[in-house]
Amino acid sequence: MTALTQPTRRTVLQGAGAGCAVALTTQGAPASAGALAQRRPLDRPNVIVVTIDDLGWRELGCYGNTFNETPQIDRLAREGTRFTQAYAAAPLCSPTRAALVTGRYPGRTGITDYLRGEEAASDLHLSTRFRSLPEVLAPRGYTTGHIGKWHLTETYHGRYRSRPGNPYAHGFDEVIASEQRYIGGGDYFHPYFFLPGLPARSPGEYLTDRLAQEATGFIRRHHGRPFFLHVANYAVHSDLRAKPGLLAKYRDKHGAGVDGARPVLAAMLESIDQQVGRIVRTLKDLGIARNTLLLVTSDNGGALRAANRPLRGGKGQLYEGGIRVPLVAWWPGTGAAGRVSAELASTIDVLPTAAGLAGADVPAGVDGIDLTGVIRGTATTDRDTLFWAYPHHIGSSHPHAAVRQGGYKLVRQLRNGRDELFDLVADPAETNDISRRAPDIHERLGGLLAGHLDELDLFAPPPGSADYPRAVSTGGFRRVAGAPLRRSVQTVGSARFALSLATAPLLAAGHRQLRLGVVQDADNHLVLRYSHRRRGLRWELRHRGRLVDAGAEPVRTLDGTVDLSRPGARLAMAVRGSQVTAYADEGSGRWEMLFRFDVGGVLDFGSRAVRSRYRYAATSGRGFRARLA
């Protein structure tokens, strides 16, 4: 079969229900019992990371919340270290989780947005080309476990271990209660929609409690040797559902519903707090608490802005409310209790910190640093810079990136390069842009961020770049109206190509909708659609007659902001394998990046067989002419 006609994962989807080959009751079995038996206990600290999904910066009592009750985590803060300047590696879940496993910025892992379900055009997963945290620790005798949410693959059919990017592929010895189906909007009471193979241990079982049981069970099974355990809670991600008794408690509590106090979230968070308490009691009962580092944190800021106040923004944004997160480190017997650290910390630091404790080598290319000295209270770090890149649309957010150096932070909109500069010491709420008042700082941070983005190489560059062996310009509509472009994509001889369309003459002639892209026939095409009425852009992918748009970014947020009728205006599509970037020039002579997307689940122009079937094309109106077939 050719690369175009052979079945893709989209065309062979089968139900991932009870008939699926994955049996979660056996997921907890070690990957290789023989390999584990050969390991020898080492005098190395255990490491446990408890991740709370979508937890806002101010939701814990130890961070100032007076409505939510989190006595167990608050006790850890009193006995350990509470970080005030800790950050998620991204403003959303999947990229942060990839950063935790690899110690790298999300832009280096290829996971920069939350991963979609089976029906999306993309086919992404965390690549095994990066040495993972389990692979770093295994040579030092560590047993590694992952319990709960993974969200680093877009494949949810077939045997669990065969799915690309699954936790076993990254070296975890035990994987328990990790989603079997796509997570969707959450599911907290048994039977769990995304865990159809996980039998309940008690009637009406609550998922957070089940993860607590699994975590304490893992600790008891492996306490005789060093271990790493990630307890990745599904809570408090929407849709929010709590145990009835706790929910009633908070609904009746004074202040409910005032200033962001949400009874259902408070009840869910108390269940997680109880989970943390059970883990701590197990460590103490087994006599290994003083040889265990326990970290409690979040994967991004809270989904609702009130959860992050006084910080600006929230989930999906690179303002402080979207990326600053709680981080509590508890390691009994190490340094003074109740330390408050203002050191910069990030998700990318988990791997090098665990490696430092284990005496393991840190892989080349890791961006994080070892925080052991900070947690012990014996050292500070020399880090003063952190980077973020979120090149996607979500909610009201457009693609943007940020850098923090010292107390200053710059946020850049990637479409037009507009910058905001903040002094976080004087203005933690990011209300005052000081870029004009501090041009030297603006220039320095802007240069740092530009260099980082160049390193990441996230976008297929626009036409005119030397990156392309050939770029196609259609000039004006008259050249393609009667006889659309028939050049084969194959003729470029490369997976990298770009094409552009001069739009102003077409719009002046009365056309109100323009399309530019690559076409096989009416049932198979990938195009950009510009609507002059909406002053906006969409992308359209049809494969075998089916419109593939599940999980597409909400680029409708561009509506009203793109005017391609001005003299010199152009529209462009740049392709690099399965990655596509849309550009526009509104007549300024400068390309603006509007959005990017991946179609690897359906098309990959890295394949010559695929390129041989597609042609460049441009047209107006609602559809392509039949002669394009």
- Residues taking part in catalysis: 93, 151
State the Cα–Cα distance between residues 311 and 305, nearest whole angstrom: 8
Q: Which residues contact 254 (CB under 8 A, 6 or more apart)?
A: none
Q: How many CB atoms lie within 10 A of CB 261?
A: 18
Could you give the dihedral angle defined by the CA atoms of residues 13, 602, 131 and 111, in that order, rounded to the nearest 10 degrees? -100
Cα-based distances in Å from 546 to 522, 528, 542, 543: 11, 17, 5, 5
The 8-class DSSP code of residue 249 comes to H
State the Cα–Cα distance between residues 92 and 268, nearest whole angstrom: 20
Q: H helices within 223-339, ranges in order?
A: 244-251, 263-285, 320-323
Helix (H) or strand (E) holding 373: helix 372-376
Directed axis angle between helix 350-358 and helix 93-102, to 10°?
20
Helix (H) or strand (E) holding 355: helix 350-358
Q: Which residues contact 462 (CB under 8 A, 6 or more apart)?
A: 498, 500, 572, 574, 581, 583, 591, 593
Could you give the dihedral angle defined by the CA atoms of residues 233, 176, 83 and 253, in that order, rounded to the nearest 10 degrees? 30
State the Cα–Cα distance between residues 466 and 464, nearest whole angstrom: 7
Nearest alpha-carbon partner for 274 in 70, 425, 469, 427: 70
Cis before 259? omega within 30: no
State the Cα–Cα distance between residues 613 and 3, nearest whole angstrom: 10
State the Cα–Cα distance between residues 554 and 396, nearest whole angstrom: 9
Q: Is the dihedral of CA 534, 539, 542, 548 positive or negative?
A: negative
DSSP codes joined into one string, 156-170: -SS-GGGSTT-GGGG
Answer yes or no: are the C-beta atoms of 456 and 582 closer than 8 Å: no
Q: Is the dihedral of CA 124, 130, 136, 139 positive or negative?
A: positive
Six-digit token pair at 299? 């994967």
- Which residues face 206 on adjacent strands? 189
